[in-house]
């Protein structure tokens, strides 16, 4: 190109550039955008929207208006969340307007980003340019619609809050969300008065992930007595247990209340609240001689009504030096009625083998969450014969519940090795029986154990070789007319040790 | 034995007169108890009586002797001027009573001498005894299967109990101490299982360690813990003052000392009792006060332990009237209790409880072969009445019940009918329940003629009980179903005794109906067959078979348990070779295949006594023991392998009794 021509060309370009630069600073007359069918987008899913952009310019009809790309922003001047690279262009009509349609897909990631920035809405923005390089920017605003969450709670079986003891309640929770795959959780529940005043908290973390099917949770927890008392003192008839569930990081929460009526121990769920294993002296450990009688007790506090299923078990010395192996001693199927405390008794614990024994009460139903400490006893060595059950002394007459008369003979089978027989009489103190006392326990092992309200009144010592006697006047004088008495016969050796004993029998003294 | 001037028991039939027997003191003559040669009566010593020469021979033939109200006439010999009582076995050291009587011709009893004697072990002390019982076992596994964690080293287990008594005329001290090796749980240290020391004086008493308070009332019931207590009694025995401080919770081990150092876990109290009338049976009054803090609950408590505190007072009056035929007992108690402990938001709640018991027994002269007693009990415990020393007392209960027992030869029965209601404080916002109870039991023991028949000595018993719970008020509203439950139980038992043991069978049926529909209706059946057999002096067998089943009648679902056990103890070689075997089988099944598991366990011990323990000398025993365990759970994902463990052991036993 010759120099003058080149100079003219450059000058023209410069002029054009100047013109463009001048027009580029100009604005189109007006811009607007609309969205069909609405401006809401669902969190968690991509959404298709039909956008209509209207651009009014001063350019000639037939000229083109273009937009290179669209941008998602938190606010019109805020951070860019993403871009859509699809260009738009349209032709100016006779009125100077351009109508552009855009089929926009709003990615779920954009919605999530906006929500994570704490915003409940975001904008989609486009900049349009006409042939005169006039520009204008407009946007549409999208509202983020978060997923719904609903919770419904119910009790599993009867449930109540007791003012007289701890209560147990089981709850089922059903959680539904419109959005699957979201983490949902409830850190703990709360006890409230019906007016919303808090009483306390309870329960552990419940968590899961939403799915098209409802989520189910269940829990069993204790209702402290103090909670029920505070509700009663506040005049309420019930305690509310509330669980609030949350879609993690979305701030979407929902809760439900389960009312628990106040009661005083009888109503509500059948549950074991406390078990204390002990020996007769209240201790949980004993050291004893071989053959020494031993009884275990379990004090059980419960609420409601039901059948206790449990099993007394023992680990014998043959396993306690290694891995304890528990064997059944007694299986219990005990109806427990009306929320109170009962004492279960396990007589005749094995004491014939020397060594460490462990006793436990295994709860089968209700199983609960109790960890019951073991009873332990150590049988020291000694006379092997002591490990054998004491020999039974067989009575011949009089029979149980006989009436004492002039010719009442006490007869028995002789016991080898006996140096003396001792006929003993006890006064059976009258006392109101327990409702479930059952048949009388005529067990000689109960003598001296405090299990029977009795005291020894009198007796007769009889030389060996004699197998029958009548009651002497002297011994008879100590008996109480009209009162029930128990009697038994012992065989003792020369050291005074009991080598055989009869069962207890009752005799009527006129 | 010398010629017996004391009347042999078997010749007294003709003198036996039923009905009230009078005892008269006759000052015209009496026997003299001779002082002991050694200066004191020893446990194995004889007792010599000097008979005055003026005593007619006929009277000598009607004399009888009793020791502590036990007729010991058969062990008295006499030469006419002296009588000697030779106890058939050593007497316990301590105070005893000897009494000589003469049977008068009119049927009365004439007292010819009575002596309070002290049997002493030595001149220095009435009683000075020490006993210890030591057992130490070392075991080493020599065989195992499927027990990878079972250590193969020697393991020591042991326990020792120590006891001592020191007593003289007006004072006595006794103590026991039990120590146990705790290897499997606490690193093998020797720890304290329990201890108790008691000092008695003529008018005082002190206890330290594990012991129970001698009180049974609304505030204190069967309360045994580690602690200290003391008592003082007036010289005439009509007044007594007690004081105590005890640990609130059961404890073991050396820690906590006497158990009373921590005021946050201590119950302290006192009571005063007095018998204001000359006859102490006519009226006994007792005033009790206690205060404490501690963990409300026990070893295993749902929701963990929680601190609580409170105090209480009670007044108890007990009276036996009308020749001891009528008993009347009244009691009133108050308590103040912080249910959420010190610092909680609940203030101490006050409430009260009271009880009234009356019981009448049949007149002795109108028995006609039948005796009876009957009574009525009223007891009310306030909604917020609570005592740390009687944590088992159900609160919020008003009970009224009648009870009675009747006895005939061979047959006895008793019955109870009662009603219990709740919400005794008439609180408007808690419901009221009404529980009706009825129970009856009877025992029949057929009278046998002389010899025991082939089926042994039978004993039959039956028990019936019903409990109905109904809800009377429902302040929470109709949205909450009202409780309406009925429980009926029936039990039959038959037992047959022989001189070699016996066997028994029993069956219990219990039906639970929940008319509110909140709980399942159930039926429980339990049957047990048990026998105990002793064969000679060297073999003992025990067999027990038990089946129990619970049926959910709403769903027809049934769970069933079967337990069978066999226990055998045998002296294969007397004092040399012993064996103990226990075989047990436990099966749990449920309908629809929801449960099906069987556990079989066999444990066996074989002991070889290398050195017999005797007379304070230690004994040494070698043992071979084994346990085999097999679990067959048909629903388990993985099969549970059977296990066994075999141990060789050495055992030292040492008992000292001096």
* Chain B 560-619, residues with CB within 8 Å of chain A CB atoms: 561, 563, 565, 567, 569, 571, 575, 578, 580, 582, 584, 586, 601, 603-605, 607, 609, 613, 619
Give CA–CA dist A338/A340, Å, rounded.
6
Report the residue from B224, B491, B567 with minimal CB separation from A438: B491
CB of B406 less than 8 A from some CB of A: no
Q: How many CB atoms lie within 10 A of CB B640?
A: 14
Instruction: For residue B515, report the phi and psi dihedrals to the nearest 5 degrees.
Output: -75, -10
Task: Reply yes or no on whether the pLDDT at A2 is more than 70.
Answer: no
B450 interaction partners in chain A (CB closer than 8 Å): 396-397
Compare B115 and A29 and report the one with higher pLDDT: B115
* Chain B 136-165, residues with CB within 8 Å of chain A CB atoms: 137, 139, 141, 144, 147, 149-151, 155, 157-161
What is the reported pLDDT for B646? 95
Confidence band, pLDDT 50/70/90 cuts, at residue B634:
confident
Confidence band, pLDDT 50/70/90 cuts, at residue B256:
confident
* Phi-psi region at A17: left, alpha or beta (left = phi > 0; alpha = psi -120 to 50): alpha
Chain A nearest-CA distance from B376, in A, is 9
Instruction: For residue B113, report the phi and psi dihedrals to the nearest 5 degrees.
Output: 160, 140
Report the percentage of chain B scoring pLDDT > 90. 47
* Closest chain A residue to the Cα of B411, Cα to Cα: A401
* Mean pLDDT, residues B531-545: 88
What is the DSSP code string of A211-232? -SSPEEEEEEEEE-HHHHHHHH
Answer whether B284's CB lies under 8 Å from B314's CB: no
Minimum mean pLDDT range among A9-23, A445-459, B343-357, B441-455: A9-23
10 Å CB burial of residue B552 (0-12, 13-18, 19+) is middle
Give CA–CA dist A331/A327, Å, rounded.
11
A289 interaction partners in chain B (CB closer than 8 Å): 133, 655
What is the reported pLDDT for B581? 94
CB of B528 less than 8 A from some CB of A: no
- The answer for residues whose C-beta is within 8 angstroms of residue B249's C-beta and 6 or more apart is B225, B265, B294, B295, B298, B305
* Mean pLDDT, residues A479-484: 77
Determine the distance from the C-alpha atom of residue A171 to the mean position of all C-alpha atoms in its chain, rounded to a whole number: 9
What is the reported pLDDT for A326? 94
Report the residue from A396, A459, A477 with minimal CB separation from B21: A477
Instruction: For residue A474, report the phi and psi dihedrals to the nearest 5 degrees.
Output: -60, -50
Task: Reply yes or no on whether the pLDDT at A482 is more than 60.
Answer: yes
Give CA–CA dist B63/B52, Å, rounded.
13
**Bridge pairing between strands A454-462 and B70-71:** parallel
Give CA–CA dist B117/B47, Å, rounded.
10
Chain A nearest-CA distance from B277, in A, is 22
pLDDT, one tens digit per residue, over A310-324 is 999 999 998 888 889
Chain A nearest-CA distance from B35, in A, is 24
* Closest chain B residue to the Cα of A278, Cα to Cα: B250
Chain A nearest-CA distance from B398, in A, is 12
A506 interaction partners in chain B (CB closer than 8 Å): 407, 412
Confidence band, pLDDT 50/70/90 cuts, at residue A451:
very low
Task: Reply yes or no on whether the pLDDT at B295 is more than 60.
Answer: yes
Task: Reply yes or no on whether the pLDDT at B15 is more than 70.
Answer: no
The torsion angle over the Cα atoms of residues B246, B250, B256 and B261, rounded to 10 degrees, is: -30
Contact: A264, B396; criterion CB under 8 Å: yes
Give CA–CA dist B658/B655, Å, rounded.
10
Mutate to test the interface with B, among A356, A361, A382 (most CBs of B within 10 A): A356
pLDDT, one tens digit per residue, over B93-104 is 888 999 999 988
The β-bridge partners of A298 are A277, A344
pLDDT, one tens digit per residue, over B523-536 is 999 999 999 888 87
Contact: B361, A503; criterion CB under 8 Å: no
A422 interaction partners in chain B (CB closer than 8 Å): 70
* Mean pLDDT, residues B380-394: 91
Confidence band, pLDDT 50/70/90 cuts, at residue B365:
low
Chain A nearest-CA distance from B76, in A, is 11
Contact: B150, A322; criterion CB under 8 Å: yes
Assign B276 to helix, strand or coil.
coil
Compare B279 and A242 and report the one with higher pLDDT: A242
Mutate to test the interface with A, among B43, B71, B99, B624 (most CBs of A within 10 A): B71
Contact: A440, B546; criterion CB under 8 Å: no
Confidence band, pLDDT 50/70/90 cuts, at residue B296:
low
Assign B357 to helix, strand or coil.
strand
Confidence band, pLDDT 50/70/90 cuts, at residue A38:
confident
Mutate to test the interface with B, among A201, A223, A333, A463 (most CBs of B within 10 A): A333
Enclosing H/E stretch for A113: helix A108-116
Chain A nearest-CA distance from B236, in A, is 23
Beta-sheet strand order (sheet of B82-85): B32-33, B47-50, B82-85, B76-78
Q: Dmax over Cα atoms in chain B, in whole Å?
A: 95
In chain A, helix, strand, coil percent, each to 5? 10, 50, 40
Residue B593 to residues B520, B556, B562, B635, B636: CA-CA distances in angstroms? 20, 13, 16, 8, 12
CB of B434 less than 8 A from some CB of A: no
Kindly report the CA angle at B237 between B231 and B240, in degrees rounded to 5? 30
Token pair in block for residue A139: 């946007």
Task: Reply yes or no on whether the pLDDT at A382 is more than 90.
Answer: no
Beta-sheet strand order (sheet of A306-315): A285-288, A375-379, A355-365, A306-315, A326-336
10 Å CB burial of residue B409 (0-12, 13-18, 19+) is middle
Q: How many CB atoms lie within 10 A of CB B280?
A: 13
Give CA–CA dist A81/B36, Å, rounded.
115
Compare A452 and B403 and report the one with higher pLDDT: B403
């Amino acid at each position: 190109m010759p120099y003058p021509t080149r100079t003219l060309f450059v000058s023209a370009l410069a002029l054009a550039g100047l013109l463009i630069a001048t027009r580029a600073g100009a604005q189109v007359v007006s811009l607007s955008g609309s969205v069909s069918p609405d401006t809401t987008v669902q969190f968690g899913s991509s959404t298709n929207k039909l956008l209509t952009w209207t651009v009014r310019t001063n350019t000639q009809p037939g000229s083109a208006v273009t937009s290179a790309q669209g941008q998602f922003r938190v606010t019109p001047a805020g951070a860019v969340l993403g871009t859509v690279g699809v260009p738009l262009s349209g032709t100016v009509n006779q009125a100077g307007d351009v109508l552009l349609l855009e089929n926009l897909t709003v990615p779920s990631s954009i919605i999530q980003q906006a929500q994570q920035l704490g915003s409940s809405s975001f904008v989609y923005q486009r900049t349009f340019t006409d042939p005169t390089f006039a520009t204008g920017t407009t946007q549409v605003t999208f509202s983020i619609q978060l997923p719904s969450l609903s919770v419904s709670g119910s009790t599993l079986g009867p449930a109540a809050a007791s003012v007289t003891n701890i209560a147990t309640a089981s709850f089922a929770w059903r959680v539904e969300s419109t959005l699957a795959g979201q983490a949902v959780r409830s850190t703990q529940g709360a006890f409230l008065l019906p007016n919303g005043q808090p009483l306390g908290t309870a329960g552990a973390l419940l968590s899961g992930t939403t799915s098209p099917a409802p989520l189910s949770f269940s829990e069993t927890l204790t209702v402290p007595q103090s909670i029920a008392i505070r509700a009663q003192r506040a005049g309420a008839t019930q305690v509310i247990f509330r669980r609030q569930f949350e879609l993690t990081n979305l701030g979407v929460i929902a809760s439900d209340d389960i009312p628990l009526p106040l009661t005083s121990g009888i109503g509500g769920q059948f549950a074991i609240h406390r078990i204390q294993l002990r020996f007769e002296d209240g201790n949980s450990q004993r050291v004893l001689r071989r053959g020494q009688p031993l009884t275990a007790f379990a004090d059980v506090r419960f609420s409601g009504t039901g059948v206790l299923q449990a099993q007394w078990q023992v680990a014998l010395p043959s396993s306690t030096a290694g891995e304890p192996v528990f064997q059944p001693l007694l299986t219990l199927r005990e109806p427990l009625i009306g929320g109170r405390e009962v004492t279960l008794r396990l007589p005749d614990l094995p004491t014939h083998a020397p060594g460490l024994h462990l006793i436990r009460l295994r709860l089968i139903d209700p199983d609960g969450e109790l960890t019951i400490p073991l009873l332990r006893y150590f049988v020291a060595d000694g006379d092997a014969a002591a490990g054998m059950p004491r020999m039974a002394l067989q009575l011949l007459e009089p029979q149980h519940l006989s009436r004492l008369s002039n010719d009442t003979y006490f007869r028995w089978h002789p016991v080898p090795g006996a140096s003396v027989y001792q006929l003993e009489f006890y006064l059976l103190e009258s006392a109101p029986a327990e409702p479930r006392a059952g048949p009388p326990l005529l067990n000689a092992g109960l003598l001296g154990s405090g299990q029977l309200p009795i005291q020894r009144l009198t007796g007769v010592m009889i030389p060996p070789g004699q197998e029958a006697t009548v009651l002497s006047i002297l011994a008879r004088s100590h008996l109480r007319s009209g009162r029930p008495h128990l009697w038994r016969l012992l065989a003792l050796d020369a050291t005074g040790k009991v080598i055989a004993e009869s069962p207890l029998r009752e005799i009527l003294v006129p | 034995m010398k010629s017996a001037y004391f009347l042999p028991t078997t010749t007294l039939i003709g003198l036996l007169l039923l009905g009230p027997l009078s005892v008269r003191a006759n000052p015209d003559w009496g026997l003299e108890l001779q002082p002991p040669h050694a200066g004191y009566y020893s446990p194995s010593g004889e007792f010599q009586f000097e008979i005055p020469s003026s005593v007619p021979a006929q009277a000598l033939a009607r004399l009888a002797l009793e020791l502590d109200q036990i007729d010991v006439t058969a062990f008295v010999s006499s030469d006419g001027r002296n009588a000697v009582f030779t106890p058939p076995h050593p007497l316990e050291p301590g105070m005893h009573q000897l009494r000589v009587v003469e049977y008068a011709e009119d049927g009365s009893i004439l007292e010819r001498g009575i002596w309070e004697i002290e049997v002493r072990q030595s001149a220095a002390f009435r009683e000075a005894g020490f006993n210890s019982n030591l057992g130490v076992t070392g075991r080493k596994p020599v065989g195992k299967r499927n027990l990878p964690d079972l250590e193969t080293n020697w393991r020591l287990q042991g326990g020792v109990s120590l006891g001592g008594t020191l007593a003289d005329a007006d004072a006595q001290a006794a103590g026991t101490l039990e120590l146990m090796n705790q290897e499997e749980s606490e690193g093998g240290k020797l720890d304290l299982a329990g201890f108790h020391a008691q000092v008695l004086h003529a008018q005082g008493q002190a206890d330290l360690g594990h012991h129970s308070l001698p009180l049974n009332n609304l505030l204190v019931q069967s309360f045994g813990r580690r602690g200290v207590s003391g008592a003082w009694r007036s010289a005439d025995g009509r007044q007594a003052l007690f004081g105590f401080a005890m640990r609130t919770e059961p404890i073991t081990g050396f820690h906590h000392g006497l158990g009373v150092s921590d005021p946050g876990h201590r119950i302290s109290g006192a009571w005063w009792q007095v018998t204001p009338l000359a006859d102490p049976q006519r009226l006994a009054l007792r005033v009790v006060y206690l205060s404490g803090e501690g963990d409300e609950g026990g070893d295993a408590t749902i929701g963990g332990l929680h601190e609580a505190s409170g105090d209480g007072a009670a007044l108890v009056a007990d009276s036996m009237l009308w020749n001891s035929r009528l008993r009347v007992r009244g009691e009133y108690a108050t308590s103040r209790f912080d249910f959420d402990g010190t610092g909680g938001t609940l203030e101490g709640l006050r409430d009260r409880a009271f009880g009234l018991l009356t019981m009448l027994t049949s007149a002795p002269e109108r028995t006609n072969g039948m005796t009876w007693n009957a009574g009525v009990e009223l007891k009310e415990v306030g909604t917020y009445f609570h005592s740390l020393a009687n944590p088992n007392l159900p609160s919020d209960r008003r009970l009224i019940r009648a009870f009675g027992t009747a006895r005939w030869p061979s047959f006895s029965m008793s019955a109870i009918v009662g009603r219990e209601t709740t919400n005794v404080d008439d609180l408007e916002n808690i419901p009221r329940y009404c529980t009706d109870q009825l129970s009856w039991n009877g025992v029949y023991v057929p009278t046998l003629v002389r010899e025991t028949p082939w089926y042994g000595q039978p004993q039959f018993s039956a028990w019936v009980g019903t409990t109905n719970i109904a809800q009377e008020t429902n302040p929470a509203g109709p949205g909450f179903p009202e409780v309406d439950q009925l429980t009926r139980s029936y039990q039959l038992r038959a037992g047959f005794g022989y001189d070699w043991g016996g066997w028994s069978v029993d069956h219990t049926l219990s039906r639970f109906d929940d008319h509110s529909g909140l709980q399942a209706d159930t039926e429980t059946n339990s049957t047990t067959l048990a026998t105990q057999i002793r064969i000679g002096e060297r073999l003992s067998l025990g067999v027990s078979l038990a089946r129990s089943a619970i049926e959910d009648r709403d769903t027809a679902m049934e769970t069933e348990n079967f337990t069978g056990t066999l226990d055998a103890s045998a002296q294969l070689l007397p004092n040399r070779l012993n064996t103990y075997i226990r075989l047990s089988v436990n099966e749990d099944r449920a309908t629809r295949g929801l449960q099906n598991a069987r556990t079989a366990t066999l444990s066996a011990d074989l002991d070889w006594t290398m050195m017999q323990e005797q007379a304070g000398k230690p004994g040494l025993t070698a043992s071979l023991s084994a346990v085999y365990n097999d679990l067959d759970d048909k629903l388990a994902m993985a099969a549970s392998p059977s296990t066994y463990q075999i141990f060789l052991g050495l055992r030292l036993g040492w008992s000292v009794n001096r």
